[in-house]
Structure 1
Amino acid sequence: MDELTPRPLVIGMTGGIASGKSTVARVFSRLGIPWVDADDVAREIVAPGEPALAEIRQRYGARLMLDDGCLDRRALREIVFADPAERQWLESITHPRIRTRLIEWLDTFHWRGAPYALLISPLLFESGQQELVDRCLVIDVPEYLQVERTARRDDVDEAQARDIVAAQMTREQRLARADDVLCNDGSPESLEAQIKRLDQQYRDMPRLPGNN
């Protein structure tokens, strides 16, 4: 990247499961803001033919493979949420690969001349991806809403939904690290108004010298 060319501000957007990150991203997109989702990248790096998928298959065997050769992500999730050691192993082989591809995406936003860009990641802080961003935006919802939305969206019972929420960073920990907060416990109109205010705030911030 050309060190003399200003680069867009990078906003790291995070929140607990079912907090509404995708909904927020779509509104920013309508405002002309590019974004990359770490969850999408995480799926890409375990696609058929990828080295990470081969390592997962070697560890767990064919029981985690679907008939079409893709990873059974739900079965893998059950394993790693039940055993912290397995979760740590999985993160050790996936997080470095995810980080590399995120950097590649952010570089493309520099050349597009975007006023700013979003890096969306549920594990922004846990994975160290906050080191790639300039500001951290937390989408905040009460825990009971996370549980309700997770159970409904993922077709799991309430107990499993609570376990999924409990396995993540706490709401208080995320808020303590936030530069900006969007509250997503009200109407769509309220959420969109908050996003538009933040959009103007980010556009008014100076672009930064290229440093990669």
Structure 2
Amino acid sequence: MIKLGLTGGIATGKSTVSAYIRELGIPVIDADVTAREIVEPGEPAYDDIVSYFGPEILQADGTLNRAALGKIVFSHAEKLAKLNEFTHPRVFQRTQEKTAALVATGADVIVYDIPLLFEANRPDSFDAIMVVTIPRTLQIQRLMARNHFDEQEAVKRIEAQMPMAEKEARADYVIYNDGDLQTTYRQVDQIIADVKKKLE
């Protein structure tokens, strides 16, 4: 079984690639989805978070107010560390469970969609890593259009992440997403064919 990591930068088109991989019939485990699942009411991480941060980080329906929680943790390093302590081991455990379930169904290639794959220091967990990239000027344009940011805000968000050049240098496969969709898809097809060849 081959584990493929998939990452990119903000607004580079990682979700587009992830959706196409699913269309090919290859299972994708999405780290963002898993992270949301483990903080739902009734989950151990949810109980720990509410106990530590208090009920003011809850919405009227009892679910986490992610915006309120984000405001707290991103201005207090020790509180962010505490939140990570509650969530990271649970995300890892849930990911292991999802992997085991997919292997049991006969999956021979699994893709892990992880926005902060390199930042989380987890590249060693994968047989190969794919990075979706676009030129910086296009990244700024797409982020401005997608999130209705001005240029200054878009640049600030991009510069808060690891530089794309560094991610590209550390990847096994680089997917250039600055052309049409078919060009992007052909690159993905080539990577999947190459990976499957290694399974034979």
Normalization by structure 1: what TM-score? 0.82
Question: How far is the alpha carbon of 1:9 from its aligned partner?
Answer: 0.6
Question: How far is the alpha carbon of 1:155 from its aligned partner?
Answer: 4.8
Match of 2:156 in 1: 163
Match of 2:5 in 1: 12
Are 2:25 and 1:32 aligned? yes
Instruction: Identify the match of residue 123 of structure 1 among 98, 116, 137.
Output: 116
Question: How far is the alpha carbon of 1:83 from its aligned partner?
Answer: 4.2
Are 2:100 and 1:107 aligned? yes
Cα–Cα, structure 1 residues 73 and 11, in superposed 2: closer, same or farther, change >3 Å?
same
Matched AA of 1:103: Q
- What percentage of aligned pairs have identical amino acids? 38
Q: 2 CA distance for matches of 1:200 and 1:123? A: 25
Q: 1 CA distance for matches of 2:138 and 2:63? A: 31
Bigger mean CA offset, 24-33 vs 55-64: 55-64
Question: How far is the alpha carbon of 1:76 from its aligned partner?
Answer: 2.6
Cα–Cα, structure 1 residues 127 and 196, in superposed 2: closer, same or farther, change >3 Å?
same
Instruction: Identify the match of residue 135 of structure 1 among 128, 131, 148.
Output: 128
Match of 1:210 in 2: none
Bigger mean CA offset, 8-17 vs 79-88: 79-88
Match of 2:177 in 1: 184
Question: How far is the alpha carbon of 1:147 from its aligned partner?
Answer: 3.8
Q: 2 CA distance for matches of 1:190 and 1:196? A: 10
Instruction: Identify the match of residue 95 of structure 1 among 71, 88, 96.
Output: 88
**What CA deviation, in whole Å up to 9, does each residue of 1:28-80 have, x standing for no partner?**
11111111001100001111122222332233333321111111222333444
Q: Unpaired segments of 5 or more residues in structure 2?
A: none
Bigger mean CA offset, 128-137 vs 11-20: 128-137
Bigger mean CA offset, 100-109 vs 30-39: 100-109
What is the count of residue pairs matched by the alignment? 200
Question: How far is the alpha carbon of 1:120 from its aligned partner?
Answer: 0.8
Q: 2 CA distance for matches of 1:73 and 1:143? A: 29
Q: 2 CA distance for matches of 1:87 and 1:187? A: 39
Matched AA of 1:202: V
Q: 1 CA distance for matches of 2:3 and 2:94? A: 15
The RMSD of aligned alpha carbons is 2.2
Paired residue secondary structure (2:20): helix
For the Cα contact (< 8 Å) 1:140–1:184, is it kept in 2? yes
Q: 2 CA distance for matches of 1:149 and 1:80? A: 27
Question: How far is the alpha carbon of 1:98 from its aligned partner?
Answer: 0.7
Instruction: Identify the match of residue 44 of structure 1 among 34, 37, 42.
Output: 37
Matched AA of 2:178: D
